[in-house]
Amino acid sequence: MKAETFPRPHTAGANDVRNPGMPLAIEMFEAHAVNRSAAERRAATLTTRRSVKKANQAAWLVNAIRCIDLTTLAGDDTEGRVARLCAKARRPVAEHILEGLELQDYGLTTGAVCVYPTMVPAAVRALKGTRIPVASVATGFPAGLMPLKLRLEEIRYAVGEGAHEIDIVITREHVLKRDWNALYDEVAAMREACGEAHLKAILATGDLQTLRNVYAASMVSMQAGADFIKTSTGKEGVNATLPVSLVMIRALRDYGDATGQRVGFKPAGGMKTAKDAIAWQVLMKEELGDRWLQPDLFRLGASSMLADIERQLEHYVTGRYASSSRHAIA
């Protein structure tokens, strides 16, 4: 494997025009039906129709690392924990593995580091001198049940502390009541509060009841100017699944066809293995093409996945599986 296999890492969105949004157009989704059985059948074939092995598998796993939002969102987060997380983001794979892959000079990092707003300054300090963006959850994460004024202030606070990306949570009630005007106005206000920071809209799909609601919420969020749409907070009972991701990606494609704009996608929650990393990348490649395998348009919200990816890469390099205790903890 050679470093030339991959494009040079870059800050998310640095080379792309942001999604400007558009006026609310309910006709783009209101009558759009989603066949759950067909979506589930299509998703089930993704991991059976395509198999990647050896060097190809290693390449897919290295690309997954480039797209991971390495995250800590715990109640006992400290500056020390964030500093350790950032150190892992800067050097996500052990040196001997990089040497075995001939990637020691590539500059491999994760796609971003994601923290709570109060931890943003610690992350910014720890990542100084790198091109790794700092992402912050906001808007009353994970429930989002705070007055809109306070949620907007939380966005401005995180951006003011140095966050490059903001992961917002939508009000699920707007979707369940199909109050699309309220959802559009909310996301548009959040986008404005973000300023230059990119907005990732978390739909909390496990709370939305139907795939039709998932499609509609995806479309409204993009119309309101979201730069990414994201499946979950990771705190719902059901988080990222392939059928839900398929529906959101079809919404991305439809929005792109209608507007010419590229919007990113981030599955999050419930993904833990290298096999998961490959499955979601296969979904992106088959539905949207290679362009959506770059970190400015695709992120994986799954920090625990990195440990399994590193173990699989060590097996590729050495022929042996190492104990997880040999690898630095993110």
Q: State residue 52's pLDDT score.
A: 83
Select which of 266, 276, 296, 308 is catalytic: 266
Threshold 0.85, pTM exceeds = yes
pLDDT at 302: 85
Q: Does 13 fall in a domain?
A: no
CA 207 – CA 189 distance, rounded (Å): 22
Q: Is 285 a catalytic residue?
A: no
pLDDT given at position 16: 59
- CATH number at 288 reads 3.20.20.70
**Strands of 165-169's sheet, edge to edge?**
69-71, 112-115, 134-137, 165-169, 198-202, 228-230, 264-266
| Enclosing domain of residue 67 | 25-318
Q: Output DSSP code: residue 31.
A: T
**Considering its fold, how many domains does the chain have in total?**
1
In a domain, 6, yes or no: no
Q: Spot the catalytic one: 69, 167, 207, 227.
A: 167
Q: Max alpha carbon distance in the chain (Å)?
A: 56
The two three-digit tokens of residue 17, written as one number? 């025009």
- Our answer to whether residue 272 is catalytic in this structure is no
H-assigned helices in 117-241? 120-126, 148-160, 172-176, 180-194, 211-223
What is the pLDDT at residue 51?
77
Instruction: List the catalytic residue out of 200, 230, 276, 308.
Output: 230
Written as tens digits, the pLDDT of the chain (330 aa) is 554 454 444 444 444 579 999 999 999 999 999 999 999 999 998 877 767 889 999 999 999 999 999 999 999 999 999 999 999 999 999 999 999 999 999 999 999 999 999 999 999 999 999 999 999 999 999 999 999 999 999 999 999 999 999 999 999 999 999 999 999 999 999 999 999 999 999 999 999 999 999 999 999 999 999 999 999 999 998 999 999 999 999 999 999 999 999 999 999 998 999 999 999 999 999 999 999 999 999 999 988 899 999 999 999 999 987 766 666 655
Structural domain includes residue 238: yes
In a domain, 8, yes or no: no
Report the alpha-carbon distance of residue 219 to residue 301 in Å, rounded: 21
Q: What is the rounded distance in angstroms from the CA atom of residue 104 to the CA atom of residue 275?
A: 24
- Assigned domain for 259 exists: yes
Residue 330's pLDDT is what? 55
Verify whether residue 266 is a known catalytic residue. yes
Domain membership of residue 11 (yes or no) is no
Q: Enumerate residues 6+ apart whose C-beta is below 8 A from 125.
A: 83
DSSP letter at 237 equals: S
Alpha-carbon gap, residue 199 to 228, rounded angstroms: 6
Res 153: pLDDT: 98
Handedness of CA 222, 223, 226, 227 (dihedral sign): positive
Smallest CA-to-CA distance from 227 within 204, 183, 195 is with: 195
Residue type, 245: S
Q: Alpha carbon of 267 to those of 55, 75, 185, 276: distances in Å?
A: 25, 22, 24, 11
In a domain, 192, yes or no: yes
Tell me what pLDDT residue 14 has: 42
15 in a structural domain: no
